[in-house]
Amino acid sequence: MVHSENQESKSLKSEILGIIAPSFPAFLDELHCKYKNLGDGAIADYIPELSKVNPDLFSICVATVDGEVYQVGDFNRLFTIQSMSKVFAYGLALEDHGRDYVLTRVGVEPTGDAFNAIILDEQSKRPYNPMVNAGAIATTSLIKGKGATERLNRMLDMYRRYVGKDVYVDMSVFTSERSTGHRNRAMAHLMLNFGMIDGHIEEALDLYFQQCAVMVSCRDLAVMAAALANKGVNPITGEQAVDSRYVKDILSVMYTCGMYNFAGEWAYKIGIPAKSGVSGGIIAVVPGKMGIAVFSPLLDSRGNSVRGVKVCEELSQKFGLHMFDCRGGSFNFGQNGCN
């Protein structure tokens, strides 16, 4: 059943959820029951350590901008953040260099290709966007610091601000990916050839693999997404996780590129910025309202969690979360959001 972290909130303490619909927490429970036995999809096994996960794990969490967290299923289970990390690393690179410079190294065009496609923009030689692997490696290579340790520490500190507590890198997933990630290594070499990343590519790749191997729970991810919904401020600790100036940049690329070669259909049907990762998580942001996270390791052919997509689709439809839904969304949020 749905757990709220604050017992008083049984009476629906969150004004945000109260505005959308009092039935919101109960609906999370319903969705969990409905999809928990859905066995479609496959676990990512190209990173050997990831193939060890239990495919039945499943959790849904929602964190509101007023600091309430609703959670159902295996919400405290830790797993690696994988590509959902790209969202947060992009924010750090923007803070380190500003929009104009980052745009010279990484574009903002959707690719329509798989997350691990080895392609660069023909004209500019930039990777297409920061949400696919090539763009994420280029983004990570921009993170400032005197040496590898300082860069890693700055990355971990950035995560700490979003999550509200210290996080760590899972060494077995990190080393598993480092020793098998030749495709990512090939992309880094290609970008080095075109001057899109600087000399130390093994260091940039290590930081990228570490950033992907940070352990989070579904609950952590919902809070991280809620910080993006809340002008960059962690709604529980009140700490500014990312400069509010860059929230719109982050959410824009999540909206257009976050779900890879499913991004167009996602924008059309679900209509909120989101990002998936091959460990089976999806984060979604309803700006000004809440962060949503789903964890279920069974993936579809594009590398997106099967149950995660279904849960987000149902939540969006039921509560009018689509940004352009004139019954809900930003047109009329909450007035008529529940059909």
Ligand X SMILES: NC(=O)CC[C@H](N)C(=O)O
Residues of the shown chain interacting with ligand X in the complex, contacts defined by CB under 6 A: 82-83, 115-116, 133, 177, 184, 212, 277-278, 303
In the chain, the DSSP E strands lie at 3-4, 59-64, 69-73, 79-80, 215-216, 274-276, 281-286, 290-295
Torsion over CA of 24, 75, 88 and 255, rounded to 10 degrees?
A: -40
Nearer to ligand X, 21 or 257 (CB): 257
Least distance in angstroms from the C-beta of 64 to ligand X: 26
CA 267 – CA 270 distance, rounded (Å)? 6
Nearer to ligand X, 136 or 233 (CB): 136
Active site residue 208: yes
Nearer to ligand X, 65 or 285 (CB): 285
Number of helices and strands in the chain (H, E): 13, 8
CA 286 – CA 290 distance, rounded (Å)? 5
Nearer to ligand X, 132 or 233 (CB): 132
Query: Binding site: what residues are annotated?
Result: 83, 133, 177, 184, 208, 260, 278
Least distance in angstroms from the C-beta of 320 to ligand X: 29
Least distance in angstroms from the C-beta of 325 to ligand X: 28
- The residue annotated as part of the active site, out of 169, 242, 253, 278, is 278
Handedness of CA 246, 252, 254, 260 (dihedral sign): negative
The identity of residue 264, as a single letter, is: G
Nearer to ligand X, 21 or 92 (CB): 92
- The residue annotated as part of the active site, out of 86, 275, 289, 318, is 86
Least distance in angstroms from the C-beta of 216 to ligand X: 13
Active site residue 252: no
Active site residue 173: no
Question: What token pair was written down for 48?
Answer: 């050997």
- The residue annotated as part of the active site, out of 9, 14, 59, 83, is 83
Query: Binding site for substrate: what residues are annotated?
Result: 83, 133, 177, 184, 208, 260, 278
Query: CA of 268: how far to CAs of 17, 163, 243, 271, 302, in Å?
Result: 24, 29, 29, 6, 17
- The residue annotated as part of the active site, out of 70, 208, 246, 255, is 208
Active site residue 278: yes
Residue nearest to ligand X (CB): 83
CA 322 – CA 262 distance, rounded (Å)? 16
Least distance in angstroms from the C-beta of 173 to ligand X: 9
Active site residue 233: no
Closest CA to 81 of 167, 195, 196, 172: 167
Question: What token pair was written down for 63?
Answer: 């964190």
Show which residues are catalytic: 83, 86, 208, 260, 278
